[in-house]
Structure formats: C-alpha cells, structure tokens
Amino acid sequence: MTTIICAECGKAPFGVQPSGLFRCDRCGSEITARDLVFDEGEVWVIDSAGTLGYLPAPN
C-alpha cells in the first residue's frame, strides 16, 4: 500500500473516521473517497491502523 499524504499540508496521512470521511492527522483537512482521483486500475484501501492509501494497478 502507498500512503496518501494530505494535499493541504503535505505532511500527514489521512485516517478514516466513524463518519466515513478521511481526516488529515496534522491539519484536520477532510476528504471523501469521491475526492480521490486515481489512474486506471488503482484502488484505495485502508490499512489495519485506519490509514488511507492506495494499491497500484495489477499487471
């Protein structure tokens, strides 16, 4: 998994919230899964710690 870093502060990853939103650990910026833009075949994932990331397209 490649961790997605907040575009607002450029410092911290996003953690999943009970609301289903993703919140930056540092600046508090919130995004939704719909805000994520990926290349073809890439998918977003959440690791066991609740951190947002993505998986590259399968070969």
* Interface residues toward Zn ion, by CB under 5 A: 6, 8-9, 24, 26-27, 29
- Fill in the DSSP letter of residue 33: G
Question: Which residue type, as a one-letter code, is found at position 44?
Answer: W
Angle at 25 between CA 21 and CA 31, to 5 degrees: 30
- Whichever of 10 and 41 has its CB closer to Zn ion, that residue is 10
Shortest CB 24 distance to Zn ion, Å: 3
Minimum CB separation of residue 36 from Zn ion in Å reads 15
Between 9 and 57, CB nearer to Zn ion = 9
